[in-house]
Amino acid sequence: MVCLQRLAGVASTMAAAEREWYQTAATRQRPGHPAPAPCARRRLRGMSERRSRPVPPGVQSDLFVEDAVPALPRDAPLAARMRPRNLDEYVGQEQIVGLGRPLRQMIEADRLPSLILWGPPGSGKTTLAAIIAAQTQRYFAELSAVSSGVADVRRVIAEAADRLKVSGRRTILFIDELHRFNRSQQDALLPHVEAGTVTLIGATTENPSFYLVAPLLSRSRVFRLALLDEAAIVAIVRRALADVDRGLGGVPIAIDDETLHTLALLAGGDGRTALNILELAVDATPPSADDTGGAKVVTRDTIEQAAQAPTLLYDREGDAHYDTISAFIKTLRDSDPDGALYWLARMVEAGEDPLFIARRLVISAAEDVGLADPQALPLAVACQQAVHFLGMPEGRLALAETTVYLARAPKSNSAYAAYNRALEDVQATRNEPVPMHLRNAVTGLMRGMGFGQGYRYAHDEPGHLAPGQTHRPPSAEGHVYYVPGALGDEGARRGAADGPADAGR
């Protein structure tokens, strides 16, 4: 290192001496000539142009100057100061960056494709991207899809191309919230990702299959990051408490295991949230005056006050919206009133549209309860009307009552299944004509052509049935669609329903 510093000093001194010599020569007059030496002027001008020529970020303008990495000030948020710097400090996500895992092997071998990191907030997507850039010695260019557009993407890509041409250094283009880019913005990335001008790392909280264009997905590897478990959150917090340089290690702090457990639960799997809660709780705790030596004793009550209430990961247009309503409907179908109430409360407290929940209850009443309890559908429709009439928060009472009713009701999907069987025949016999005896004969011409001829009026028949009368095209006649269920009202009526079904109705 000392030799390199000396060599750098010698190079700098030589460059300064050369420039001083040419400055003197440029102003010196040759004998018999009033003007300065032209060769010195040209040389000096060339030196100035080279020194003023713009250099793309990440390309060394001086042989011995490293990329400047500004240190975060001590008043920066704790979560920012404690951001892991390498894979050894990175906590969690063992399923993708653990020893022997494919992504870790690709990072260590510096054979990195474009990546899509899909996971909830606070799971470490941005941190992992920065670690990858540092470990592979690639330049790290960062954009946010919220505030950037195609012009920003083209600028970064042009700089990456210059950097690759001048120094051979490759560039990682990290785009946060990539799912917020529209189709044309995503398309602008395609040729440069395919050509290798940049290695794209996109971070998204939403399902890439729904939000990213297929060509971009086909050029990238998707890795899913999970919410951090309790052990990972506790490890992150303990590291922050022990780190003297970047964390809270310079402050005497006392916190027991039960309080750490509470903090981990309130963080909801989000490492950033955990550190934010910890920092706020420590700032709000005065030094103790007892035998703890003036340490700040952080209690469970302080942590709960700092957290206020755990943040529910819920987006009314994102994955959480669809995943939670799916869990709600499946729990109703499984006749679990307690589980269904849990998911109902999750949605209501997260701010879900109550009319959306009511509509799903109407669907569940028709699809899953069906004819086993014919009163379920009118009740669900009444629930929708009550929610619309009352609004919130009172509307949640109607939602809760209907949820419990549907969960406890007997179940049958016989009508749903019957419709699907009928649909198969319709698709197979799409152009079959309506049988003549079932057609409507409203004019003399139509009656003369045989419309309605042979139709038997059911109310004129014994038992209000017309045995033997067909009601479908010949190719579909005799196929049974409706098979009664065995539960509830439908089961009680099953004997009566079997007769007409067997008769071809």
What pLDDT, in 10s, does the model give residues 97-134? Answer: 888 888 888 888 888 899 999 988 888 898 898 888 88
pLDDT band (50, 70, 90) for residue 6: very low
Taking residues 356-370, report their average pLDDT.
93
Residues 54-101: tens digit of each pLDDT: 555 555 443 333 454 456 677 789 988 988 888 888 988 888 888 888
Of residues 475 and 390, the one with the higher pLDDT is: 390
- The mean of the pLDDT values for the chain is 81
Output the pTM of the full model: 0.58
All residues at 6 or more sequence positions from 272 whose CB lies less than 8 Å from its CB, including other chains? 79, 121, 122
Whole-number Å distance between alpha carbons of 55 and 61: 7
Q: 283's torsion region: left (phi>0), alpha (psi -120 to 50) or beta?
A: alpha
Mean local confidence (pLDDT), 436-448: 80
What is the dihedral angle through the alpha carbons of 193, 196, 201, 202, rounded to the nearest 10 degrees? Answer: -10
Q: What pLDDT is recorded for position 434?
A: 81
CB contact set of 361 (below 8 Å; sequence gap of 6+): 380, 383, 384, 399, 402, 403, 406
Mean pLDDT for 247-266 is 89
Are 491 and 372 in contact by the 8 Å Cβ rule? The answer is yes
Question: What is the band of 499 on the pLDDT scale with cuts at 50, 70, 90?
Answer: very low
Which residues are within 8 A (CB) of 122 and not within 5 positions of it... i.e. 6 or more apart?
228, 267, 269, 270, 271, 272, 273, 274
* Mean local confidence (pLDDT), 386-406: 92
pLDDT number for residue 240: 92
Residue with the bigger pLDDT between 51 and 347: it is 347
Mean pLDDT of 253-277: 89
Q: What's residue 27's pLDDT?
A: 47
Q: What is the largest CA-CA distance in the chain?
A: 136
Instruction: State the average pLDDT over residues 236-252.
Output: 90
Burial of 226-249, coded b for 16+ CB within 10 Å and e otherwise, reads: bbbeeebbbbbbebbbebeebbbe
CA pair distance 122, 143, nearest whole angstrom = 18
Q: What tokens appear for 208 in the block?
A: 């890439």
pLDDT of 149 > 70? The answer is yes
Pinpoint the alpha helices (H) of 316-443.
Answer: 319-333, 337-349, 354-364, 376-390, 395-408, 414-428
pLDDT at 13 > cutoff 90: no
Res 494: pLDDT: 67
pLDDT score of 20: 52
Distance from C-alpha of 325 to C-alpha of 321, rounded to nearest angstrom: 6
Q: Both tokens of residue 447?
A: 């009656």
pLDDT on residue 318 = 67
Q: Quote the CA–CA distance of 200 and 153 in Å, as a whole number.
A: 11
Residue 384 has pLDDT above 90, yes or no: yes
pLDDT band at 293 (very low <50, low <70, confident <90, very high): low
Does residue 322 have a pLDDT over 80?
A: yes
Is pLDDT at 377 greater than 90 in this prediction? Answer: yes
For position 376, what pLDDT does the model report? 94
Measured CA to CA, the distance from residue 333 to residue 412 in angstroms comes to: 10
